[in-house]
Amino acid sequence: MRTAPLPVVAASAARDPRPDRSIDVPTDSHCPYCALQCGMSLSPAGRTSVRVRPRDFPTNGGGLCQKGWTSAALLGSPARLTTPLVRSGGVLRPASWDEALGLVAGRLREIVDERGPDAVALFGGGGLTNEKAYLLGKFARVAVGTSQVDYNGRFCMSSAAAAANRAFGLDRGLPFPVTDLDGADVVLLAGANPAETMPPFLSHLRRAAEAGGLIVVDPRRTPTAERAALHLAPAPGTDLALALGILHAAVADGHLDRDYVRDRTAGFDDAWRLAAAWWPERAERVTGVAAADQRRAAALLAGASGAYVLTGRGVEQHATGVDTAGAWINLALALGLPGRPGSGWGCLTGQGNGQGGREHGQKADQLPGYRRIDDPAARAHVARVWGVHPDALPGPGRSAYELLDALGTPGGPSALLVFGSNPVVSAPHARRVADRLAALDLLVVADIVLSETALAADVVLPVTQWAEEDGTLTNLEGRVLLRRRALPPPAGARTDLEVLHGLAVRLGQPPERFPADPEAVFAELRAASAGGPADYSGVTYDRLRAGEALHWPVPAEDHPGTPRLFLDRFAHPDGLARFAAVDHTGPAEPPDAEFPLHAVTGRVLQHYQSGAQTRRVEELRAAVPEGYVEAHPDTAGRAGLADGALAAVTSRRGKVVVRVRCVDSLPADVVFLPFHFPGDQRANLLTNPALDPVSRMPEFKVCAVRLSPAREARS
């Protein structure tokens, strides 16, 4: 039983004294947070940090949000880990790298010998560079031989990815450059709140907003919704019915693009037969969105000279997330938007490398290049690049939540290695996840700070962060970016690549099979991705250093990249896009007498994901220091609560204790909680791990809760 008292970490953030090659000149880089990957310029600020300035880059046009501006604060932060920690006597104590890696490798060997390779699991993240994601997947399949590898992107992009693959035969978040949106006069954002989650993105919607063409679908009146000409506020978990209602209105009001549907798509009739049952008045009954507004949305999109439908986590993080994303794609297809210049469908990727992270093999069912692990040709190709026999590669493993849920169970893994993720805070049904982690024989966490997951670990490995290492990321528009080292890492921290190299060698792998140099890893990734859907073979560090804008696929070094996909054909063998025959079924856990409210979880501007980074940046922490629950004043009042009072929010799975913020614009049966906060403020103590049958996405966005006063006893 692990109790995880706070360890004593006696290391200051001393830096490697060697001069860095770029120490005296500003380094062009990108923000460490979201998928917009804002361009920034880093200039030296003492030996331990850099000064951040926004850079004029297409995604951000010289803008930055508060997270980006303050991103350097973690570089020299006393919260940085600079020495490995090993638990002994229940306490994490400093250890040497050799001791820590030797211990991990030794335990892994024992566990594999005893229970087989699938007894070891790996958990990655959408913030890891392409090189790290690639090497992590290879490490799992080759050095350990386990099928049990997945990552937190499962909680982020998996539903949109599956829906896009089904519809178009290929998944690239935005199949067009983000700057294409600048020319749009109508944009529908479904379940996305970029005014808080990627603020500089809003500059691309300026024309649409000023033309009265911004449509926002969100149960809450978010800062993004406030800017919309039309805010559609469906009851939580009814986005699919709303999309069906708007599709119905589009067809009934004569907006169907019949030529496009005939020439470029398949499956309309089957999709329509289901949508035909969702006339706007019926959809209104289920969603609460006025039938007239559904018709107006259809008319706005259809009447635009350039229209886009964009989805975000709000519609995707459901047990019906794939079908819901598919329903919005159906609407875009019915109006003839995708695969035409100046219009389209896309999803707004969340994490910094949410796109690249899902392409290169840290996902349970995939191999590099967005290949399927159950495709014999894909296995043969990747095995050849890796110098192993195809039969030696394991098959598909468990998806993220199923993996976490199985930890420490008789049939599940008994060791877990975590890179770039904090599932104790970010996974659904968080109490269950914490229990499963505690049941492991070995938990290893590589992180830059002592995250909540690291606190529960047996071994913690301190790693470098964005400005201290080179690596590529693929942003929300499928453009491959080079993030460059701007200062030396603190002494004692190693890169994730070095960690994987060190472990692989200790597990008996030849050193050259697990290079630690990012450019060398990228060269291997290029070969492994060649010929795959996400083909990076023509991308080189030199081309990226020269500033080339390379959107994948880039199948050759003289290929200019592919900014816009699908202009001639979609990626299915017949070139046609597919309508999805989808119907509304509703949230997995509808409110009832005992739990009468819908709880919606999401993000705030100042924090990022589990908050492991942003909660340690003083300026961000001061702006939003703790979790809270938003409720309508009537709802709070009926629960005996007023603005600022301490409330308990309870679901079937757990209880959160946070302060109430009264918000007039919230529906009376909805409360909202940000999920960035630890301990008993963890919104994910409440969330429902009901999974989408295709993407295995948990239902983060809606669960049933009740609200009650909590005693003022917290210190």
Parallel, antiparallel, or unpaired for β 442-447 and 459-462? parallel
Q: Report the run of H or E that residue 167 belongs to, with start and end.
A: helix 158-168
Cβ proximity to another protein: between 82 and 635 the closer is 635
What residue type is assigned to position 555 of the chain? P
Q: Where are the alpha helices (DSSP H) in 179-229?
A: 194-197, 206-210, 223-226
What is the nearest approach in angstroms of another protein to the Cβ of residue 596? 8
3-state class percentages of the chain: helix first, strand second, coil last, to nearest 5: 35, 20, 45
Q: Which residues bind another protein (CB under 8 A)?
A: 54, 62-66, 69, 194-196, 199-203, 206, 221, 223, 226-227, 231, 233, 235, 251-254, 269-270, 272-273, 276-277, 279, 281-282, 284-285, 288-293, 591, 605-606, 619, 623, 632, 634, 637-638, 664-665, 667-669
For 291, the token pair is 């039938």
What is the nearest approach in angstroms of another protein to the Cβ of residue 290? 4
Report yes or no: 684 and 219 within 8 Å, Cβ to Cβ. no
Selection from 223, 302, 564 nearest residue 231 by Cα: 223
Residue recorded with tokens 């070094």: 557
Helix/strand/coil (H/E/C) assignment for every residue in 294-305: HHHHHHHHHHCC
Cβ proximity to another protein: between 194 and 489 the closer is 194
What is the nearest approach in angstroms of another protein to the Cβ of residue 392? 38
What is the nearest approach in angstroms of another protein to the Cβ of residue 206? 8
What is the nearest approach in angstroms of another protein to the Cβ of residue 539? 30
Cβ-based burial of 263 (10 A; exposed 0-12, middle 13-18, buried ≥19) = exposed
What is the nearest approach in angstroms of another protein to the Cβ of residue 285? 6
Q: Report the run of H or E that residue 430 belongs to, with start and end.
A: helix 430-438
Cβ proximity to another protein: between 437 and 636 the closer is 636
For 595, the token pair is 């739990």
Cβ proximity to another protein: between 223 and 679 the closer is 223
Selection from 173, 179, 181 nearest residue 213 by Cα: 181
What residue type is assigned to position 677 of the chain? F
What is the nearest approach in angstroms of another protein to the Cβ of residue 635? 9
Cβ proximity to another protein: between 258 and 389 the closer is 258
Residue 459, CA distances (Å) to 8, 88, 102, 507, 558 in order: 14, 10, 11, 17, 45
Report yes or no: 206 and 197 within 8 Å, Cβ to Cβ. no
Parallel, antiparallel, or unpaired for β 307-311 and 597-602? unpaired
CA distance 511 to 260: 54
Cβ proximity to another protein: between 45 and 623 the closer is 623
What residue type is assigned to position 135 of the chain? L
Cβ proximity to another protein: between 223 and 390 the closer is 223
Cβ proximity to another protein: between 134 and 677 the closer is 677
Cβ proximity to another protein: between 123 and 268 the closer is 268
Please give the radius of gyration of the chain, using alpha carbons only, rounded to the nearest integer: 24
What is the nearest approach in angstroms of another protein to the Cβ of residue 284? 5
CB atoms within 10 A of CB 17: 8
What is the nearest approach in angstroms of another protein to the Cβ of residue 187? 14
Cβ proximity to another protein: between 258 and 714 the closer is 258
CA distance 36 to 297: 27
- What single DSSP character describes residue 140? I
Cβ proximity to another protein: between 638 and 714 the closer is 638
What is the nearest approach in angstroms of another protein to the Cβ of residue 292? 4
What is the nearest approach in angstroms of another protein to the Cβ of residue 48? 22
